[in-house]
C-alpha cells in the first residue's frame, strides 16, 4: 500500500502523473523540487523502504536507453538495449539485483514518457535486429494497474512496426487482464514470463504469482496472438532437490503443450555483479543464495563453469525432449555471444 507520493513540481501536470495519482486517492501528496532529492537521500534503509513503499514521480533529464549488459541474454538479437523509466519493484525476490544497485527502496516512475519514446526511436534507427527490454529495473507488467506502461509500449510497438525490433516486457505476474490492454498486431511486442521451480518461487519470490498463474497468463497471451517467451533465468540451483524442482517446471510446460509455440526460452544460472553480491551478503546474512559458491569472472559473480554447464545442459535437454522447445529457440547464458 502506497501511503505517500512524492511528486516533482515539473511533473505535476503531466497526464502520466494525473492518471497515476488518481489511482491512489488515500495517499498523501508531497511536492518536491527534484526526484533525486528523495531517491538519493543519504542513510536510507533499502530493506525497510521495500516494506513501507512510497512512490516518487519525477522527470528524467538523463538517458532512458542504455546498452544491455553482457550478463543478460538477448535471444539472438544483434543489438540489445534496455530502457529504464521506472525503478524498483514490488516482487521482493531474495536474489534481486536491485537491492545491490538502488540507493532507495521506493518506487520511482518517470512521467516524461514522450522523451523516452523519442530516444528509443533514435536508437532503433540503426536498423539492426534489436531487442529493447523495457522492464529490467521494475516489473512494469505487475504494476500496470497503477502506471499503465504496458499499453504505452504496445502503442509504441504498433507505431514502429519494424521487423527488426522486439520490445520485451518481462514479468513474474500472472494477471491476465493486463494482456488485454495490449495489442499484438505489430508482432513487435513480446511478453516474457520469468519462471522457476515451484519450490524456488515459494521460497525466494514471495510477492510474485505462483507458477500456474504465470503459465496460464503465458498461454492466454499466446492465444491472443502475442509472441511469448519464457525465462528460466536465473536458475537457482540450490539444495539437493533443485533438479527435481526444475523437472516439475519443465513437465508443467510440457503438460500444457506450449513448448513449440514459444518464441524463445532463455536459460541461465544465477549471476550478479560482484559488487552487488557484497551488498546482498551484508543485507541478507541468512540468504542461501547470497552465500552460495560463485566464481568471479569479469566483475560478475556466477556459477563455476562446470556447474553452469550442468545446470543449462540438464534443464535444456528436458525442455527439448519433454517440453518440445526447438533447439534454435533455446538460448543458454554463456553460449550465445
- C-alpha cell read off for 275: 559488487
Closest separation between CB of residue 198 and ligand SF4, Å?
16
User: Which member of 87, 162, 172, 227 binds ligand SF4 (CB under 6 A)?
Assistant: 172
Identified binder of ligand SF4 from the candidate list 68, 76, 92, 198, rule CB under 6 A: 92
Q: How far apart are the first and last CA of the chain?
A: 42
Can residue 100 be called a binding residue for ligand SF4 (CB under 6 A)? no
Of 172 and 271, CB closest to ligand SF4: 172
> What distance lies between CA 142 and its chain's CA centroid?
10
Work out which of 7, 98, 150, 249 binds ligand SF4, going by CB under 6 A. Answer: 98
| Pick from 68, 66, 69, 58: nearest CA to 104 | 58
Q: Return the range that interacts with ligand SF4 (CB under 6 A); candidates 20-28, 89-97, 121-129, 238-246.
A: 89-97
Binding piece for ligand SF4, criterion CB under 6 A, among 7-15, 84-92, 271-279, 280-288: 84-92
CB of 127 to ligand SF4, least distance (A): 30
Residue 329 · residue 265 · CB < 8 Å: yes
Residues 138-157 that bind ligand SF4 (CB under 6 A): 139
- Rounded to whole angstroms, what are the CA distances from 289 to 13, 109, 185, 277? 44, 29, 41, 10
Instruction: Give yes or no for residue 93 binding ligand SF4 (CB under 6 A).
Output: yes
Q: In what order do the strands lie in the sheet with 271-273?
A: 271-273, 300-302, 295-297
Minimum Å distance from CB 282 to ligand SF4? 18
- The per-residue b/e assignment along 216-251, b for 16 or more CB within 10 angstroms, e otherwise, is bbbbbbbeeebbbbbbbbbbbbbeeebbebbbebbe
**Smallest gap from residue 205 Cβ to ligand SF4 (A):** 6
Among 54, 75, 77, 91, binds ligand SF4 (CB under 6 A): 91
Closest contact distance (angstroms) between CB of 89 and ligand SF4 is: 3
Cβ–Cβ contacts within 10 Å for residue 286, how many? Answer: 7
- Only one of the segments 72-80, 93-101, 126-134, 280-288 lies at the binding site for ligand SF4 (rule: CB under 6 A); that segment is 93-101
Rounded Cα gap, residues 245 and 290, in angstroms = 20
At 32, is the secondary structure helix, strand, or coil? strand
* Min CB(158)–ligand SF4 separation in Å: 26
Three cell numbers at 243? 533438479
Q: Give contact residues for ligand SF4 (rule: CB under 6 A).
A: 89, 91-93, 96, 98, 139, 172, 208
Amino acid at each position: 500500500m502506497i501511503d505517500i507520493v512524492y511528486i516533482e513540481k515539473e511533473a505535476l501536470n503531466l497526464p502520466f502523473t494525473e492518471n497515476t495519482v488518481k489511482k491512489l486517492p488515500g495517499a498523501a501528496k508531497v511536492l518536491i523540487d527534484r526526484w533525486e532529492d528523495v531517491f538519493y537521500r543519504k542513510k536510507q534503509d533499502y530493506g525497510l523502504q521495500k516494506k513501507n513503499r512510497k512512490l516518487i514521480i519525477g522527470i528524467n533529464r538523463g538517458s532512458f536507453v542504455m546498452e544491455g549488459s553482457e550478463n543478460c541474454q538477448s535471444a539472438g538479437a544483434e543489438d540489445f538495449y534496455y530502457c529504464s523509466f521506472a525503478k524498483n519493484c514490488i516482487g521482493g525476490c531474495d536474489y534481486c539485483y536491485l537491492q545491490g544497485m538502488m540507493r532507495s527502496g521506493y518506487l520511482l516512475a518517470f512521467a516524461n514518457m514522450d522523451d523516452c519514446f523519442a530516444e528509443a526511436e533514435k536508437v532503433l534507427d540503426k536498423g539492426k535486429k534489436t531487442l529493447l527490454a523495457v522492464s529490467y529495473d521494475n516489473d512494469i507488467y505487475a504494476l500496470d494497474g497503477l502506471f499503465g506502461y504496458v499499453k504505452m509500449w504496445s502503442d509504441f510497438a504498433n507505431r514502429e512496426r519494424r521487423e527488426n525490433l522486439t520490445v520485451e516486457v518481462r514479468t513474474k505476474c500472472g494477471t491476465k487482464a493486463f494482456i488485454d490492454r495490449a495489442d499484438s498486431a505489430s508482432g513487435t511486442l513480446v511478453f516474457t514470463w520469468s519462471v522457476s521451480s515451484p519450490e524456488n518461487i515459494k521460497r525466494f519470490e514471495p510477492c510474485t504469482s505462483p507458477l500456474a498463474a504465470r503459465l496460464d497468463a503465458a498461454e492466454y497471451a499466446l492465444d491472443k496472438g502475442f509472441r511469448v517467451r519464457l525465462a528460466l533465468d536465473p536458475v537457482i540451483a540450490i539444495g539437493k532437490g533443485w533438479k527435481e524442482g526444475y523437472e516439475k517446471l519443465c513437465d508443467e510446460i510440457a503438460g500444457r503443450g506450449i513448448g513449440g509455440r514459444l518464441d524463445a526460452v532463455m536459460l541461465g544460472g544465477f549471476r550478479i555483479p560482484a559488487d552487488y553480491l557484497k551488498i546482498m551478503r551484508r543485507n541478507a546474512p541468512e540468504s542461501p543464495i547470497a552465500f552460495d559458491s560463485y566464481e568471479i569472472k569479469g566483475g560478475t559473480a556466477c556459477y563455476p563453469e562446470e556447474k553452469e554447464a550442468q545446470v543449462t545442459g540438464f534443464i535444456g535437454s528436458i525442455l527439448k525432449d519433454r517440453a518440445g522447445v526447438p533447439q534454435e529457440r533455446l538460448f543458454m547464458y554463456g553460449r550465445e555471444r
